Amino acid sequence: MCGIVGFVGNQQAAPILLNGLSKLEYRGYDSAGLAVRSGSELAEVVKATGKLKNLREKTNDGYALSGNCGIGHTRWATHGVPSKTNAHPHVSGNCTGSASGAVESDVVGVHNGIIENYQELKDKLIRHGYQFYSDTDTEVVIKLVDYYYKKYKVGPIDALAKTMVRVRGSYALEVMFKDYPDEIYVARKDSPMIIGIADGETYVASDVPAILSYTKHVYYIGNNEMAKLSAGNVVFYNLDGDEVEKDLVEITFSAEAAEKGGYEHFMLKEIHEQPKVIQDTYNAYVKDGDIDFSNVGLTAEDIQAFSNVYIVACGSAWHVGMAAQYVFEDLANLPVRVELASEFRYRKMPLASDGLVVVISQSGETADTLAALREAKSKGLKTLAIVNVVGSSIAREADYVCYTLAGPEISVATTKAYSTQLIVAYLLAMKMGVVRGTLSQDVCSGYLKEIETIPQKIESLLADKERLQWFASKYSNAHDVFFVGRGIDYAIGLEGSLKMKEISYIHSEAYAAGELKHGTISLIEDGTLVIGIATQKELYEKTMSNMVECKARGAYLMGLTTSGHYAMEDTADFVIYIPTIDDHFAGSLSVVPLQLLGYYISVSRGLDVDKPRNLAKSVTVE
C-alpha cells in the first residue's frame, strides 16, 4: 500500500525522491521520509508525519539534503500508528532519524508490504541483542538484514537472500549499506516494484508515474528476486544469488498523463477521460467490426471448453464482475459466480476443472486477487486477467491477459479503470456467445454498434454535470444514503454507493430493490436520500414500485433512468436521465452521474477527494 522510491546518479537525490513520492502519495499519506547519502558519508534520515508537504517544508524541497544516492517512502500505516517514529526509512541502529543529524547505522531501508511473522523475528533479534524503537514490521526486516549481514560476513545480496528465505509476507524492499556507498539494494515478493534507467542514472519506485518524468525505459523485477542498483546500471539476482537477465521495457504513456492537466482534482480529470479510454480499449479488441482476442491467446477452442466462469476481484473491480455476470449469463449462456477475492482464497469451494477464472484488478498487484489467481492455477483452472498495468504480477502470472487502456489512474477512487474493465467484460461475454453459438454474428454486430456510442453519450452526460453539482451541494450534509436497483442497476448501485462512502465519508448502502421489504426499509425516515436506478426495461416498473414504497415512508427520491421515462418525475424529487442504450450496456452510462455525485458531495464537504482518509490506491497487503 505504501509508496517507495530510490535514486542513484549524478544529480542531487532528495528533490528527485520527493518528486517521485508526490506521484505515489495516493498509495499512502500518513507520513513520509527520506534517507540520502553522499559517497562514504553517513546517511541523513529525515521524517515527517502527515502529508508529503510537511517533509518538503522540512527539507526545503529536498535541497537541504546533499547526496546523490537515496531512498524515500510515503506511508499507509499497517503496523503502528502514524507517527514520526514509525515513519520510514528505518535503520539497523537505535536512532529514529532527525531533521539535521546523520545516522550511524549499517543498514537503512524502506519497505512496502506486510511481514506476517515479524513478531517471531523480533523476538529472535531481541535475543541477539537488538533493540527496537518503533512498532513497525519494517524495522524488524531492516535489523534482520543487518543480523545476517554481520553474522555470516556476507555481501548485501547474500544478506538479502537469507532474509527473504526467513521472512513470510509481502514486500518491496530498498536498502542502503554503509559499506557500499553509491549503491541501493532491492528485493521483491508480491509487492510492486519497477526500476528505470536513463542517462547514467537509476531509479526505482512502486509505480511508473513516480519515474515517468525521468525515463520511459524500465525493468520489471520478478517475484523473489533482488537487484543491485548503481548509477546507470542494474544487476538482477535470484534467491540463489545467480545473476538473472532482464529485458528493458518502454512505457507507452506520457508523463503528462499522470498530471492533473488543469483539473482541480485527479478524480474529475479521470472522469472526463472516460470517453477516450473507453474508445481506446474498445479499439484494442475490435478489428474490422469483429471482436479479436488473438493477442490475448484466447482461441475458439479454449472458449468452447469452458463450462462456467468464476469472476474474482475486490472493491470496484468486484462491482464490475457483479455487472458483468448478467451480460455473460444472457449472451454466452454460461453459469457465472462472482466472488470476493478475500473470500475466494480461503473458501473450500469446489471448482469445475474446466471453468475459467477471470480476475480483475486495476493495478495488477491486488494482494487478495493475486492470491486467488494462484489458488486457481494450483487447482489446474485456466485464468484470465483484466488489468491496467503492463508487466504487473497478475498480468505475468495469468494464462490470458486483457489489458485495459485506461492509462495511469492517480485518484484513489477508481473511475476510468472501472469503465474500461466493463468494456472488456462486455466484449469477452459477446465473443464467448458468438463462439458458443448463443449469440448470432448479426446481433453481436448490433451490440458493437451500441458500445461504439458509449464515448459520445458519456460526453453528453459530462456536458450536463452542473445539475448534479447543484444537487450535491443540497445533500452534502446527508447522514445516510441508500441506492436501490435490480439486475445490472443493482450492480451499478453498489459502485455508486462505494464512491459516495469512500470520498465523502457519508454512510451509504446499495440494495437489490426487491430486498427492501426484508428489513432494509425500516431504516428509511423523513428526508433520507434514496437513489433509485431504473435503466432496465423489464425491471423498470418493479423498481419504481420500490421507490414509491420508500417515498411513502418519507424518503427524498433521486431517480436515475434512461431518456423517455419522464413519468419518473411524478414520483422522484430529482431525476437524472442517461441517453438511450441497450440494457446490457446501460451501466457504462449510469455509473457516470454517480461518480460525479460522489465527487461533488466530497468537494462540497471540503474533503480531500483524491486522497480519502484511511485508504490507498493499490491494496498490496492482505
| Model confidence at 81: pLDDT above 90 | no
Confidence of residue 95 (pLDDT cuts 50, 70, 90): low
Where along the chain do its domains lie? 3-258, 260-452, 460-622
Q: What are phi and psi of 120, to 5 degrees?
A: -60, -45
**What's the rounded Cα separation, in Å, for the pair 585 and 458?**
12
Q: How far apart are CA 13 and CA 152, in angstroms?
A: 32
H or E stretch covering 121:
helix 118-127
Q: Is the pLDDT reported for residue 251 higher than 90?
A: no
- pLDDT at site 422: 98
How high is the pLDDT of residue 617? Answer: 57
Secondary-structure class of domain 3-258 per CATH: alpha beta
pLDDT tens track for 161-181: 999 999 998 889 999 999 999
Residue pLDDT, tens place only, 445-455: 999 999 999 99
Least confident interval from 189-193, 317-321, 595-599: 189-193
258 pLDDT above the threshold of 70: no
pLDDT at 233 over 80: yes
511-548 CB burial, b ≥16 within 10 A, e <16: bbbbebeeebbeebeeebbbbbbbbbeebbeebbebbe
Instruction: List, in order, residues 6 or more apart from 224 with CB less than 8 Å away.
Output: 164, 188, 189, 238, 239
- The pLDDT of residue 256 is 66
pLDDT at 506: 94
Closest CA to 601 of 469, 502, 508: 469
pLDDT digits 0-9 by tens, 126-165: 999 999 999 999 999 999 999 999 999 999 999 999 999 9
- Arithmetic mean of pLDDT, 199-220: 92
Residue 252 pLDDT: 77
Strand partners, 174: 110, 186
CATH topology of domain 260-452: Rossmann fold (3.40.50)
Closest alpha carbon to 74 in 54, 95, 85, 88: 88
pLDDT classification of 99: cutoffs 50, 70, 90: very low
Residue 536 backbone dihedrals phi, psi, to 5 degrees: -90, 115
User: 460-622 sits in which CATH class?
Assistant: alpha beta
* Helix (H) / strand (E) containing 498: helix 488-504
Strand partners, 111: 173
**pLDDT number for residue 552:** 86
CA distances from 492 to 413, 495, 536 (A): 15, 5, 12
> Do the domains at 260-452 and 460-622 have one common CATH topology?
yes
Closest CA to 254 of 212, 195, 211, 197: 212
Mean of the per-residue pLDDT values of the chain: 91
Alpha-carbon dihedral of residues 542, 547, 549, 553, nearest 10 degrees?
170
For the whole model, what pTM was predicted?
A: 0.75
Summarize pLDDT for 265-321 with one digit per residue, the tens: 999 999 999 999 999 999 999 999 999 999 999 999 999 999 999 999 999 999 999
Question: What CA–CA distance (Å, rounded) separates 43 from 60?
Answer: 18
Point out the residues that are catalytic: 2, 617
Give 612's pLDDT tier (boundaries 50, 70, 90). confident
- Residue 608: other Cβ atoms inside 10 A: 13
Tell me the mean pLDDT in the region 218-235: 94
